Structure 1
């Protein structure tokens, strides 16, 4: 890739980023968009701010002028502020970005201060013009390890940097793991008592020997026998698919009634009481929806009675213990000689439970996970030709084979078009092709039968990272390189290792454009919330005019964002020494991600002192929230796992580090410095030892609830606790 192609891609992405940030700065000042950019706060305060959009907005020129003050307000809040407002999971999520910024800042200083000048001043590419095809290497390749001569002593500098980066990663990862582990211990010790802290999910309940008894009787007998002091009560799980749909309808009706009550009776148009409002007598819409609400309540009560009468129980139950100590002992111990009976685990939070999955028989989970893994692997292989085809579009030679000659002569000959095709188009198409994959993996993770949404998201993130690392990186880099060098196998078989060492580093330029497309333009698009913005506009001008979008608050997209972050960590580690040019682009991505997501998850509490504000004052208040106050919040925590994402992030970062070290064991050998190759062999083993130490020292804090802390709260009795 030439400098012109990279500059074109950078220009396009920087332009899009500036445009999206400017639009966000303007849109967030508009009263009509308060429900998009301040949804979390407005939902908490809508009992006081009942009708924020009834009067016409007062136009001001200032509301159309972009400003950057929100960046400072997003940067200001401390970790304690975010912990109080959004929970420990949000803190861990943001610390991923801060860790990456610190680590890749070190890599950037070393890469551009030492490696880039070292690579650029060598003359391997200039001295060996016959070794490569014309235009095979661009100007930017002189900054990479490609330009280091075969067997050069300069490679020892790369070797020293490899050790320096590895030990820097050890130090930062250890500090981060220790800090997050302490945060989790503080969270477990200081969090207010919640029902899930006293509750255990019991699956694979054996059928009772007496036919007159049911699963509920079996649970009661078992826990009274083996946990006579701590056992308090239990609640069986029923086949409740119909009730789930009724509950969704119930919530929808509540929102409709609330919205209608905000209007004056004279503003509520009567509707027909018949089907879809097409026939029947005219009635007040509030009364009509209240009747439907009562009918849904009646159906739910009938379903509950039917459950008990027909014994539609499933072999799963939520068992409540008297103390957190009793729940910890029960959840973390084997209850039966047969591990497939009376399987216990901590109960998820009520908002984290996936109720249909709780109903799945325990013995089906093994086969469901095999099926999910097979489908995930199949999808990964399906994307192999897609990735290859997308990368082929970045080559003008490949495009000329498939496009009409007229297009080739008249369009591809234009310099700006060539730069766009080679520097921007492949990364854009790859980003678009991968957009739907996280949702597919999330569905497959749900098929596995995990009872909590948080576990489903973590599993989906793992699958997505595997696809990115195994497909986009390994297949895209090594597969393309092997195909390109296989053509010269018969002519020069001894030169294949050397050509492989030259081909792999040159692929970094594609990933630079991918980082810019996904991060530089993607992060501003994330903060713009384009989907919610369009939905809010349509709702205000079609279904419910002059009403903001306040139906729900979005949650952090862990399973979408985390795989991309970890994939970029992999790219940064592998190419930090091979091609230091990638490091500033990565650093900018993590900086943008930190600011954007800190803006999305942070919430400073703002109390509205006067509930009797008139409409005009409420409009001014919303405007002041958007411009002056530090109310920067979009995402509401959907659940709280106490930072359980971090051990998996740590493990995958270790995997990326090992891959980098193994790659350099081979790369030094291929570049003719076997001594450095042998001296690099201990590094993967050191990384494995470091990982094992962290697993023994910190992982149990995230996997189990320690009895020492739970014993301190043994005096807190759930039977006397009212949330």
Structure 2
């Protein structure tokens, strides 16, 4: 790829960035779009729709940028919890890395690459026609002593990243502990989930749980709630909610509704009566199902068990309860709002089978994703494209068409395919038997990250450079050499990938394209009084995206330092935009207290080791054997550092220590409100499907004449 193709991609995406910023600044001010751009503020009553028209609504303004910039970490914590703080600190962590690496890469490594002339001389007079390979390590002559500059750069940046990783791990671990000490008593701290409860004839699950825990935990056991099969009830409730919303839509603003839908009085009234009758029938079925669910036969072999202290609950959750490890399986309970009820697998065998199926589905999807990767690489390599489609040869001679195809189209196609990955991986994780939404998202986060690294990085690298050399790919001993050959060859693609996938994706997050389109489509059929849906940030989508760009920056900083300015631009945009979204859009649906940070840490360690292996192979390929040999201790030192962090900090993210739990329990003994808390604890884990609903009675208020 030549510089002009890269400039074409940068120009297109810069124009899109400006357009997104301008449109967002205008659309966010329109009262009809408040539920898209400020749903959190609207639901909390902080922002209200202004009916009076003002000219300033049509003028773009950057005031939201200043507000997002001034947001302190304490304010962010109150808005998004510790998970939101960890996410933003991940972005600032990458900013620090690539600012430091950028100084070395742009001021030192880039001039060294340009001054060399193994591939071609750098032509300043005809800058746009230079190949991007001129800016990479591939342009340095074999055996050149200038490669020692890259060698020391790798060591320096590795040391800097490890220092930052240690600082962040220590800081977030301390924040997690302080968050635990400062929080009020929470139901999940006193609760465990027990599965695979054995029963005998004539004895219910509830009786078995009661007798077991009263026998073995007589002084600390408080009570329990048995999980029941409520899938039928849940589907009926969803249907009744949809019917209720249809009635509300038909009855809101009747004069406009009649005009927009073209319904006369009689047709609309009959439709409402029809829906109302259906709603009453469904609610009668719900009552019957609930009465059946209360019977012992509908009990699942699982229960939430409550204890009088955090220490007792933690002890019970981490100890094997039975000689048979497939019975009385315990684990810490999630927050009540975090419980994921639809796929509640209570037996050991069903969970084991579901995990096996999830692994098979993940591998199958990851392999099938290679198809768009190969298509994209065919666009990047024009020679392959001309061989496959000879009829396109005349079109590919047009310079502008070539620039679009090689500089913009491949990244755009890959971006569209990548949109499918997060929802698919979340679906796979949801049927894996997890009891909490947080565990589902963490599992999906790991799956999305693995799929992205394998398909977008490794598969792209090898399909682009070694597509016809499968035997070399399968030769594990030659991995460093293969990476040294393949990774620099794909530098131009990943630079345009950062511009296309990075810039536009983070700006589409700001613009909220899909919710905006959905709002415009549903606007004629909904009223302003319709219930506001406040979304939560999809960490399983955004965390892997940020980490993958971090991997690209660490891997390519010494190979192709030209990528660093574009990465810095991406992380600067992400820093402002996500802080703005936490203020206006997202509200946390659960709190893991920073459990996403170990994923960040592990990904950064993997990125470092990958970069060091590529560096060793690159120096060997460039016939600088001493540098290649001295690079070998660096992965070992990095993995030793990772092991230290794993031993020192990771246990804090898995479970709280005994002294923390007992000290917190002693504080509770002085709290006079604990008796009331224990009373509420028993009802905290009631299945929402078993709670009473009164949609049909509420709809009576909607059954008013269309003309008053």
Normalised to the residue count of structure 1, the TM-score between the two structures is 0.85
Which secondary structure does the structure 2 equivalent of 1:236 belong to? strand
Partner deviation per Cα, 1:434-457 (whole Å, 9 max, x = no partner): 211221111111121111111111
In structure 2, do the counterparts of structure 1 residues 150 and 218 end up closer, same or farther at CA, with 3 Å as the change threshold?
same
Aligned partner of 1:625 in structure 2 is none
Which secondary structure does the structure 2 equivalent of 1:319 belong to? strand
Matched, 1:66 2:60: yes
Mark the runs of 5 or more structure 1 residues left unpaired by the alignment: 129-136, 271-275, 490-494, 603-632
In structure 2, do the counterparts of structure 1 residues 486 and 144 end up closer, same or farther at CA, with 3 Å as the change threshold?
same
- Distance, in Å, in 1 between the alignment partners of 2:63 and 2:245 is 34
Aligned partner of 1:28 in structure 2 is 28
Matched, 1:187 2:143: no
Aligned partner of 1:358 in structure 2 is 344
Q: Is the 8 A contact 1:223 1:231 kept in 2?
A: yes
Matched, 1:373 2:359: yes
Aligned partner of 2:126 in structure 1 is none
Q: Is the 8 A contact 2:535 2:585 kept in 1?
A: yes
- Distance, in Å, in 2 between the alignment partners of 1:39 and 1:563 is 25
TM-superposed deviation, 1:140: 2.2
Q: Is the 8 A contact 1:35 1:548 kept in 2?
A: no
Partner deviation per Cα, 1:231-279 (whole Å, 9 max, x = no partner): 111111111101212343455567678778976x998989xxxxx9999
Aligned partner of 1:220 in structure 2 is 210
In structure 2, do the counterparts of structure 1 residues 457 and 590 end up closer, same or farther at CA, with 3 Å as the change threshold?
same
TM-superposed deviation, 1:682: 1.1
Aligned partner of 2:235 in structure 1 is 245
Which secondary structure does the structure 1 equivalent of 2:185 belong to? coil
In structure 2, do the counterparts of structure 1 residues 685 and 488 end up closer, same or farther at CA, with 3 Å as the change threshold?
closer
Which segment is superposed worse, 708-717 or 510-519? 708-717
TM-superposed deviation, 1:14: 0.7
Q: Is the 8 A contact 2:173 2:649 kept in 1?
A: yes
In structure 2, do the counterparts of structure 1 residues 268 and 144 end up closer, same or farther at CA, with 3 Å as the change threshold?
closer
Q: Is the 8 A contact 2:488 2:560 kept in 1?
A: yes
Choose which of 379, 383, 403 in structure 2 pairs with 1:419: 403
- Distance, in Å, in 1 between the alignment partners of 2:21 and 2:593 is 32
TM-superposed deviation, 1:508: 0.9
In structure 2, do the counterparts of structure 1 residues 278 and 347 end up closer, same or farther at CA, with 3 Å as the change threshold?
farther
Matched, 1:529 2:512: yes
TM-superposed deviation, 1:498: 8.2
Q: Where do residues 695-710 of structure 1 align in structure 2 (5 Å cutoff)?
A: 695-710=646-661
- Distance, in Å, in 1 between the alignment partners of 2:656 and 2:31 is 46
Which secondary structure does the structure 2 equivalent of 1:355 belong to? coil
Normalised to the residue count of structure 2, the TM-score between the two structures is 0.87
Aligned partner of 1:655 in structure 2 is 606
- Distance, in Å, in 2 between the alignment partners of 1:240 and 1:248 is 12
- Distance, in Å, in 1 between the alignment partners of 2:96 and 2:436 is 33
Aligned partner of 1:520 in structure 2 is 503
Which secondary structure does the structure 2 equivalent of 1:521 belong to? helix
- Distance, in Å, in 1 between the alignment partners of 2:576 and 2:192 is 38
In structure 2, do the counterparts of structure 1 residues 320 and 512 end up closer, same or farther at CA, with 3 Å as the change threshold?
same
Q: Where do residues 150-299 of structure 1 align in structure 2 (5 Å cutoff)?
A: 150-208=142-200, 211-249=201-239, 251-252=241-242, 282=269, 298-299=284-285
Aligned partner of 2:582 in structure 1 is 601
Q: Where do residues 297-446 of structure 1 align in structure 2 (5 Å cutoff)?
A: 298-403=284-389, 405=391, 408-409=393-394, 411-446=395-430
Q: Is the 8 A contact 1:322 1:719 kept in 2?
A: no
Aligned partner of 2:688 in structure 1 is none
In structure 2, do the counterparts of structure 1 residues 549 and 72 end up closer, same or farther at CA, with 3 Å as the change threshold?
farther
Matched, 1:544 2:558: no
Which segment is superposed worse, 238-247 or 392-401? 392-401
TM-superposed deviation, 1:467: 1.6
- Distance, in Å, in 1 between the alignment partners of 2:510 and 2:404 is 26
Partner deviation per Cα, 1:471-491 (whole Å, 9 max, x = no partner): 2211211343223679999xx
- Distance, in Å, in 1 between the alignment partners of 2:589 and 2:332 is 18
Partner deviation per Cα, 1:281-310 (whole Å, 9 max, x = no partner): 95896x998887776555444323212335
Choose which of 590, 605, 620 in structure 2 pairs with 1:639: 590
Aligned partner of 1:607 in structure 2 is none
- Distance, in Å, in 2 between the alignment partners of 1:396 and 1:11 is 22
TM-superposed deviation, 1:380: 1.5
Q: Is the 8 A contact 1:497 1:670 kept in 2?
A: no
TM-superposed deviation, 1:412: 3.1
TM-superposed deviation, 1:414: 2.8
Which segment is superposed worse, 164-173 or 558-567? 558-567
- Distance, in Å, in 1 between the alignment partners of 2:552 and 2:76 is 29
In structure 2, do the counterparts of structure 1 residues 251 and 636 end up closer, same or farther at CA, with 3 Å as the change threshold?
farther
Q: Is the 8 A contact 1:540 1:548 kept in 2?
A: no
In structure 2, do the counterparts of structure 1 residues 280 and 381 end up closer, same or farther at CA, with 3 Å as the change threshold?
closer
Aligned partner of 1:612 in structure 2 is none
Which secondary structure does the structure 2 equivalent of 1:534 belong to? helix
Q: Where do residues 648-687 of structure 1 align in structure 2 (5 Å cutoff)?
A: 648-687=599-638
Partner deviation per Cα, 1:671-701 (whole Å, 9 max, x = no partner): 1111111111111111111111111111111
- Distance, in Å, in 2 between the alignment partners of 1:251 and 1:89 is 31
In structure 2, do the counterparts of structure 1 residues 192 and 297 end up closer, same or farther at CA, with 3 Å as the change threshold?
farther
Aligned pairs, number:
661
- Distance, in Å, in 2 between the alignment partners of 1:90 and 1:112 is 32
Choose which of 539, 560, 563 in structure 1 pairs with 2:544: 563
TM-superposed deviation, 1:362: 2.2
In structure 2, do the counterparts of structure 1 residues 346 and 258 end up closer, same or farther at CA, with 3 Å as the change threshold?
farther
Mark the runs of 5 or more structure 2 residues left unpaired by the alignment: 123-128, 681-708
Choose which of 119, 127, 136 in structure 2 pairs with 1:144: 136
Q: Is the 8 A contact 2:340 2:437 kept in 1?
A: yes
Aligned partner of 1:610 in structure 2 is none
Aligned partner of 2:92 in structure 1 is 98
Aligned partner of 2:438 in structure 1 is 454
Aligned partner of 1:720 in structure 2 is 676
- Distance, in Å, in 2 between the alignment partners of 1:169 and 1:595 is 23
Which segment is superposed worse, 225-234 or 702-711? 702-711
Which secondary structure does the structure 2 equivalent of 1:316 belong to? strand
Which secondary structure does the structure 2 equivalent of 1:45 belong to? coil
Aligned partner of 1:132 in structure 2 is none
In structure 2, do the counterparts of structure 1 residues 91 and 496 end up closer, same or farther at CA, with 3 Å as the change threshold?
closer
- Distance, in Å, in 2 between the alignment partners of 1:488 and 1:45 is 62
In structure 2, do the counterparts of structure 1 residues 282 and 446 end up closer, same or farther at CA, with 3 Å as the change threshold?
closer
